[in-house]
Amino acid sequence: MASFSPSDGHVYCFVCKLFSKTRSQFTHGGYCDWKNAAARLVEHETSKNHLNATTHFAVRSKEKGCVDQELVQQAESEAIYWQEILKRLISVIVFISERGLAFRGEKQVFGSPRNGNYLGILELIAEYDDFLDKHIKNNGSCGSGNTNYLSSTICEEIVQLIKKKFLMKLSLESSSKNTIPYR
Query: Would you state the pLDDT for residue 92?
Result: 94
pLDDT at 144 over 70: no
Gap between the Cα atoms of 11 and 27, Å rounded: 9
2 bridge partner residues: 13
Gap between the Cα atoms of 181 and 106, Å rounded: 53
DSSP assignment letter at 179: S
With a pLDDT cut of 90, the percent of the chain lying above it is 27
Handedness of CA 35, 39, 44, 47 (dihedral sign): negative
pLDDT at 87 over 80: yes
The Cβ of residue 92 has, within 10 Å, a number of other Cβ atoms equal to 22
pLDDT at 175 over 80: no
5 bridge partner residues: 10
Gap between the Cα atoms of 107 and 90, Å rounded: 21
DSSP for 20-44? -SS--TTTTT-B--TTSHHHHHHHH
Q: Which helix (H) or strand (E) holds 71?
A: helix 69-99
Pair 118, 155: CB distance under 8 Å: yes
pLDDT at 106 over 80: yes
pLDDT at 85 over 90: yes
The Cβ of residue 27 has, within 10 Å, a number of other Cβ atoms equal to 23
Query: Would you state the pLDDT for residue 169?
Result: 85
Q: Is 3 left (phi over 0), alpha (psi -120 to 50) or beta?
A: beta
Query: Would you state the pLDDT for residue 4?
Result: 80
With a pLDDT cut of 70, the percent of the chain lying above it is 91
Least confident interval from 48-62, 121-135, 136-150: 136-150
Query: Would you state the pLDDT for residue 160?
Result: 92
Q: What is the mean pLDDT of residues 91-119?
A: 89
Pair 107, 138: CB distance under 8 Å: no
Q: What is the mean pLDDT of residues 13-26?
A: 82
Gap between the Cα atoms of 153 and 148, Å rounded: 11
Q: What is the mean pLDDT of residues 95-124?
A: 89
Among residues 130, 101, 133, the alpha carbon closest in space to that of 117 is found at 101
Gap between the Cα atoms of 106 and 117, Å rounded: 11
pLDDT-based confidence at 182, cuts 50/70/90?
Answer: low
